[in-house]
Amino acid sequence: MATIKINNLQKDFGEKRAVDIDNYVINNGDILGLVGNNGAGKTTFFRLILDLLQASNGAAFINDIDSSKSEEWKNFTGAFIDEGFLIDYLTPEEYFYFIGKMYGLKKEEVDERLTTFERFMNGEVIGQKKFIRNFSAGNKQKIGIISAMIHNPELLILDEPFNFLDPSSQSIIKHILKDYSQQTGATILISSHNLNHTTDICPRIALLEDGKIIRDIDNVDNSAEKELEAYFNVE
Amino acid sequence: MLLKELRKHTKLAAKRHPMFEKNKFGKFYIYFMMLFWAGYFIFFGIIFGFGFADMFPTMEPYHIMNKGLFIILAIDFLFRFAFQKTPTQEIKPYLLLPIKKNKLLNILLLKSATNSYNAFWLFMIVPFAFITVTKYFGITGVITYSLGFYLLMILNNYWYQMCRTLINEKTYFVIIPIVFYGLLLTLELTLGNPVSKFTMEVGELFIKGNLLSFLGVLIGAAGLGWINRTIMIRNLYAELAKTNDTKIKHVSEYKFLEQYGEVGEYFRLELKLLFRNKRSKSMFRMGCFLIIMLTGMLFTPSYEGPLGKSFVGIYNFAILGILMLTQIMSFEGNYLDGLMSRKESIYNLLRAKYYFYSFAVIVPFILMIPVIIMGKITLLMAISYCFFTTGFIYFIIFQLAVYNNKTTPLNESLIGRQSTGTGFQSLISLMSFGVPMLVINLLRIAFGEIISQLIFLAIGLALTFTSNYWIKNIYKRFMKRRYKNMEGFRDSK
């Protein structure tokens, strides 16, 4: 179970305010899609929640734990923002086992969990005898996403997970995320530029502009699609 | 015009690098050292100018200098390993522009030839020539002599570039310069000094302004430049295709570490970091090479005194730690975000690093066993230096984990960028070596050999057995500074 509460969270880079969110709650079990134009503040928002950036003001609370003051939330959180998360001189298997060990998983348990992602990996990730640095951008993305999910986190944060993925893989990861939410009740935050995928997966969508959440859309029966298309002027 | 643009881009890349502000101390230090060495070279030029005349009254001083040209070139070749990098201009941004690849590489090679470092030895040669050459050949002789010498430096530059590029590719290419200089030395010593006679003739031809001599050097430089370009093209394609290590035959798993929990996992990660990345692998090999060389020095009579023994002894144990651990956390800067998203992983990482480098001191210890058996150093001395390293020296160096915030690339490449250390890292390195030397010698003066070593051992043991506490302290301080460090690592990636 994971609830996120945002309390007057602000982040300034020089004169520019990149994130400015007064009060916002992401409830336990929500699948929240974060959309916005480039530079809207999506990645910065995620980094603030994950304590990878120091907030200029305010705080983010994960299960009432201030993420900047305690590390306890890390035990039940999984995240993948970008390649900077990957230890690229390991093979994917080594990396998965390493992550698994950090969360107390044995090799056999990791192997078992990896079977869920077999279609997603499409025979291109495991058993290649290659270091992560030598994989394509798409396969690195897959490795990152899997590593974030392997320990069945209660809170999952993925920044633009559909980037670099081929259409089949995009479709597969959508199903994986939906199934994961249904099976575990985990709270999932994803950001994306792909409105179709976002409205497909996320019952709740937050629209970010200049660091502020300007709309919090209830996506009942994909109703958010028209509203988002109007905002982004997509015909 | 393209050369001018590339030069401008190089200057802007340095000036606009996020670490430019932080490296102001480093820049000041470099300028100061440049001025110092320039002055030193001028001093040598003048001293040699007058000194050779006194020492060798039957020969002209410039003849003596010219006989030693190959020694100067060999010293210059070694110096370049410390100061000069292979052309690491970021070529990638230019590859898809309407500029021929060959032209781009030619410009890079020209850039390296016109590097101001190639003119540095002129600080010695010009004053020397004024003192010795003007007598018979006037100012013209000074000019032609200096020009010839400068062209030799350009030739040496390309020779160095070729060797360095090959050695960066595969370390065993170091055999090329070893064989080359070894052959020259053998010829010189066994066949009646043909090498120094040859260089003496060449030097004289420079002074006399002989065009053929200049042409010969230019042809040699052009030839080496062409070889360099061929090697660079081959490496460029390999790097673009990333074919260098895509096929690994065997993946070392270090399974024996599995039983040691999280710390064991980070110990395993440290091993993989060291042996799977060019930069760390080269540094580690250099450390091992230095340990072997330093142990060898203990067998020579030059290091029989207490000062010499303590210098070599301390350095032998500390060198690997100093080389690798001054970059502590800088390699991890490449993937720090991932580490930070897991609880206390930095603490376990630091512990694993400490255990790893503490185990590593076994290597110099074992190598020193013959020296101990021969009575050159005592067992107590070896043990005290060993624990002083794992205690005091590592205690000092590990402090850098709190302050290092510049990412060191794991794999340097021809088309990638390189990084230099900060002034603070240099200071810590100096302290890590200098303070123990000072302490042991002061203790020796105050208390004699055995008591000083016992005190050294006590300090080392105390800090070694309390390592968990000071590592925890370092971790807490790192976490207090984490935002600044993460920002620094991200900016310098």
> Can you give the residue ranges of every domain in chain A?
4-83+153-232
pTM above 0.80, yes or no: no
B448: left (phi over 0), alpha (psi -120 to 50) or beta: left
Indicate if the pLDDT at residue A234 is higher than 70.
no
Residue that is written with structure tokens 């100093």 in the block: B322
Residue B401's pLDDT is 95
Residue B92's pLDDT is 64
Closest Cα in chain A, distance from residue B288 (Å)? 22
Residue B236's pLDDT is 72
Indicate if the pLDDT at residue A81 is higher than 90.
yes
pLDDT in tens, B200-228: 999 999 999 999 999 999 999 999 999 98
Mean pLDDT throughout B5-10? 73
- Packed helices B69-83 and B134-169: angle between N→C axes, nearest 10 degrees: 40
Q: Which of B422, B387, B384 is nearest to B405 (CA)?
A: B422
Element (H, E) at B248: none
Range with the poorest average pLDDT among B68-72, B92-96, B306-310, B363-367: B92-96
Residue B417's pLDDT is 46
Contact B343 A129 (CB under 8 A): no
Contact B251 A91 (CB under 8 A): yes
Mean pLDDT throughout B298-317? 78
Q: What is the mean pLDDT of chain B?
A: 85
pLDDT in tens, B403-435: 999 898 887 644 444 455 666 777 787 777 788
Q: Which residues of B touch A91 (CB under 8 A)?
A: 251
Residue B19's pLDDT is 57
DSSP string, A193-216: S-HHHHHHH-SEEEEEETTEEEEE
Touching check for A84 and chain B: CB below 8 Å?
yes
Touching check for B343 and chain A: CB below 8 Å?
yes
Touching check for B480 and chain A: CB below 8 Å?
no
**Chain A residue with Cα closest to B345:** A102
Which class does domain A4-83+153-232 fall in? Answer: alpha beta
Touching check for A102 and chain B: CB below 8 Å?
yes
Q: Which residues of A touch B251 (CB under 8 A)?
A: 91, 94, 129
Top-confidence residue, A40 or B238: A40
pLDDT in tens, B249-284: 667 777 778 788 889 999 999 999 998 988 888 888
Top-confidence residue, B489 or B310: B489
Mean pLDDT throughout B392-409? 92
3-state class of A212 per DSSP? Answer: strand
Q: Are B376 and B413 in contact (CB under 8 A)?
A: no
Residue B90's pLDDT is 58
Contact A71 B341 (CB under 8 A): no
Residue that is written with structure tokens 């890590």 in the block: B432
Contact A84 B335 (CB under 8 A): yes
Range with the poorest average pLDDT among A63-67, B229-233, B330-334, B363-367: B229-233
pLDDT in tens, B111-158: 888 888 899 999 999 999 999 999 899 999 999 999 999 999 999 999
Share of chain B above pLDDT 70, in %: 88
Residue B9's pLDDT is 72
